[in-house]
Amino acid sequence: MPEGPTNQSSTSKSAVTELDALVIGAGFSGLYQLLCLRDRLGMNVRVVEAGDGVGGTWYWNRYPGARCDSESHSYSYYFSKELLEEWEWSERYPQHPEIVRYLNYVADKFDLKRDIQFETRVTAARYDAEANKWNIETEGGDRFRVTYLVTAVGCLSSTNTPKFPGLESFKGKVYHTGQWPHDGVDFTGKRVGQIGTGSTGIQAAPVIAAQAKEHKIFQRTANYSVPANNHPLSDEFKKYVKENHEEIREIIQSTPNGHPFRISDRNVFDVDDAERAKIYEEFWDVGGLRFRASFQDIVFDKKANDTAAEFIKNKIRSIVKDPKTAALLTDIDHPYSTKRPPIDTGYFETFNRDNVELVDVKTNPIKEITPNGVMLENGEEYELDIIVLATGFDAMTGPLLNIDIQGRDGLPLREVWDGGPKTYLGLQVAGFPNMFTITGPGSPSVLCNMPVAIEQHVEWVTDCISDLREQGIATIETTEDSMEKWRVHVNEAAHATLMPFARGTWYWGANVPGKPRVFMPYAGGMTRYRLICKNVRENGYEGFKLSGVADAPPPAFIPAGDFTLAATVPGPGV
Ligand code: N01
């Protein structure tokens, strides 16, 4: 298996670099945060990035079939009219290389790379209360001393490799989809085993199967998927996008999940069975995440959800020719969309190929990896040349906890989050002044089209730092009480949906053994969340403690407000 990035520079202690701010990560978040702090606020900023190029999650996730599940014209920055006019996506759902090209284009256009230090992995960040500075160390021995620390580490950047006994003994090659070799993998003539059928596995399987000699797909939990209906964008659509940025922006910034379409306000049982079937057919043909927008109550009402679930299962049965395989694929244990709903290009059709076999590892789990392949509990062994681990991520908290972050009095973040992540708005942790977590746990993040969530967070952090500097405020720091109020609200938001029906997902931290079971993203919808953050700022940073400089008295502390879900902005997204 390829190693993650390592810093190539010397390990000797280097001089300390003093900056206004350090941003960790050069993905969508880090690039925009750099631009905002450097060019809008005139700050001295550096981004440090483990990879040797920009892209963040997209730098590492180069597996076959890697494609974004958000529609390209919404999977873009919306802060620059010029950028929107210049850039043109080629497909409805952009492939990995096109997204990386886009991010490089952005980095070059705004001259960002000169302030990004590549191949540099942050290992520690410690707050020095006396100096009100963050001291940051990297694997290669670089040291930084900064006033503001912004983590832009991504939600899905720390891979999850299950501890299969014997994995190291395998004589063939093992690849994790989240650490894919940059020069690709040739499956020609190979016997390939793929473990995992989440969004990644569902994208990868058809592409691997088309090349491999044999492709065994080990499925533990069956999953829904809706066809992406991907296609090249027509000139007409490209023209529409170029001429209607404002309208598209208005939609993505005012829908709960940040996608470029409105969710229907009709309920499943507002229409009769025949009409409902017709609507589902239409949305199935449109494809992608729009399917879920066909009725507003699919993610809130179990009976409504059952109708969508049954529709998809019937589609699977109609596609997959072998009844036994179809039965395994439709033996789904959760309501539709309570796990992150995948979208696909020919996933279920792949099981009609002669070289593909679905292996049930729910009733007959993987016992071990042998030198020759995968052995199941019943002793059955699958001989393989390549194992592809599409086993996901230590999501949301993993990338932050991999860094030794210590706040006031050496308080480790690992200790504060021992029982699960605690944040206020997903933006800050009590005891960690002037540290901001872009798309941190407790924010809409992964339940929203990510660039939309990222732009909102980056702009809020930028406004916040601007306010602090203008008003001579030395520190902003949330409180235990604010985090507790927010925790209650995040929990309430999740329980207002059907999400608790699928507690075995990475949303709950359930995919990593020993990880606390806490619903991590905020399911109250991006629209509501945006409003809450706006109000927090307008109310003088409600729920945060602000400390004055020198002898000036600190500004008054306004406790965190009441985040009741009574305001009716419908819930979650991706
Ligand atoms: O990971 P996952 P993913 N034995 O955790 C299986 C985003 N994404 O990489 O369900 C056998 O969803 C596991 O089985 P189970 C998106 O947000 C975005 O697919 O735990 N199987 C499951 O099938 C997505 O949600 C895009 O029973 C084991 C799979 O591995 C997130 O990334 C594209 C196992 C892991 O599924 C993560 O998706 C792709 C074991 N011991 C992904 N351990 C975009 O378009 C795990 N599994 C932007």
Region 327-346: mean pLDDT is 97
Asked whether residue 305 falls in the same domain as residue 437, the answer is no
**Residue 316 clears pLDDT 90, i.e. is over it:** yes
For the segment 15-21, the average pLDDT, to the nearest whole number, is 97
> What CATH number does residue 552 fall under?
3.50.50.60
Instruction: Read off the amino acid at residue 311.
Output: F
Q: Is residue 106 part of a domain?
A: no
Q: State yes or no: pLDDT of 527 exceeds 50.
A: yes
CA angle 189, 190, 195 (to 5 degrees): 150
Residue 352 has a pLDDT of 98
- Give the mean model confidence (pLDDT) for residues 157-165: 96
Average pLDDT of 349-365? 98
| Rounded average pLDDT over 7-20 | 69
Whether 88 is in a domain gets the answer no
**CB crowding 324-355: b at 16 or more within 10 Å, else e:** ebbebbbebebbbbbbbbbbbbbbbbbbeeee
Q: What is the mean pLDDT of the chain?
A: 95
Strand locations in 465-572 (E): 473-478, 544-548
- Which residue among 72, 391, 515 is best mutated to probe the pocket of ligand 1, counting the most ligand atoms within 8 A of its Cβ? 391
Average pLDDT on 530-546 reads 96
How far does residue 198's CA lie from ligand 1's centre (Å)?
A: 4
Same-domain pairing of 472 and 352 = no
pLDDT tens for residues 437-461?
999 999 999 999 999 999 999 999 9
In a domain, 91, yes or no: no
Give domain status of residue 6, yes or no: no
One domain for residues 136 and 228: no
- 264 vs 574 pLDDT, higher one: 264
What was the pLDDT predicted at 566?
Answer: 65
Instruction: Please identify, by atom number, the ligand 1 atom nearest to the C-alpha of residue 195.
Output: 21
Nearest CA to ligand 1 atom 25: 340
What residues are in contact with ligand 1 under a 6 Å CB criterion? 68-69, 156, 162, 195-201, 203, 218, 220-221, 340, 361, 366, 390-393, 446, 506, 511
Nearest to 222 by CA among 365, 91, 333: 333
The verdict on 176 and 141 lying in the same domain is no
Which pLDDT belongs to residue 526?
96
Ligand 1 atom at minimal distance to the Cα of residue 93: 45
230 and 378 belong to one structural domain: yes
Inside any domain, residue 203: yes
Pair 407, 458 in one domain: yes
- Name the residue of 67, 156, 157, 161 whose CB sits within 8 Å of the most ligand 1 atoms, as the mutation to test its pocket: 156
Ligand 1 center to 191 CA (angstroms): 22
As a whole-number percent, the residues of the chain with pLDDT over 90 amount to 93
Q: Which amino acid is at 172?
A: G
At residue 549, the pLDDT reads 75
> Do 365 and 411 share a domain, yes or no?
no
Cα 221 to its chain centre, rounded Å, is 20
Looking at 389, 417, 447, which one is the last position of a domain? 389
If pLDDT is split at 50, 70 and 90, which confidence band does 397 have? very high
Mean pLDDT for the stretch of residues 537-558:
88
Domain-embedded: residue 75: no
pLDDT for the residue 153: 98
pLDDT at residue 332 above 60? yes
488 and 449 together in one domain:
yes
Per residue in 28-56, pLDDT tens? 999 999 999 999 999 999 999 999 999 99
Atom of ligand 1 nearest to the CA of 389: 30
Among 335, 369, 389, where does a domain finish?
Answer: 389
> 5 pLDDT band (50/70/90 cuts)?
very low
Has residue 6 got a pLDDT over 60?
no
The closest-lying atom of ligand 1 relative to the alpha carbon of residue 361 is 11
Residue 186 CB neighbours (<10 A): 10
**438 and 368 in one domain?**
no
pLDDT exceeds cutoff 60 at 572: no
Structural domains of the chain, count: 2
Does 68 map to a domain? no
Q: Is residue 572 part of a domain?
A: no
Shared-domain flag, residues 307 and 212: yes
Cα 115 to middle of ligand 1, angstroms: 34
Distance from residue 64's CA to the centre of ligand 1 (Å)? 15
Report phi then psi at 518, rounded to 5. -135, 130
Structural domain that includes position 432: 12-54+112-158+395-567
By alpha-carbon position, which residue is closest to atom 43 of ligand 1? 391
245 CA → ligand 1 middle, Å? 33
> Looking at 357, 389, 421, which one is the last position of a domain?
389
The answer on 181 and 45 residing in a single domain is no
Both 371 and 406 in one domain: the answer is no
**What's the pLDDT tens digit per position in 64-92?**
999 999 999 999 999 999 999 999 999 99
Confidence of residue 11 (pLDDT cuts 50, 70, 90): very low
Q: Looking at ligand 1, which atom is closest to the CA of residue 339?
A: 25
Radius of gyration of the chain (CA): 24
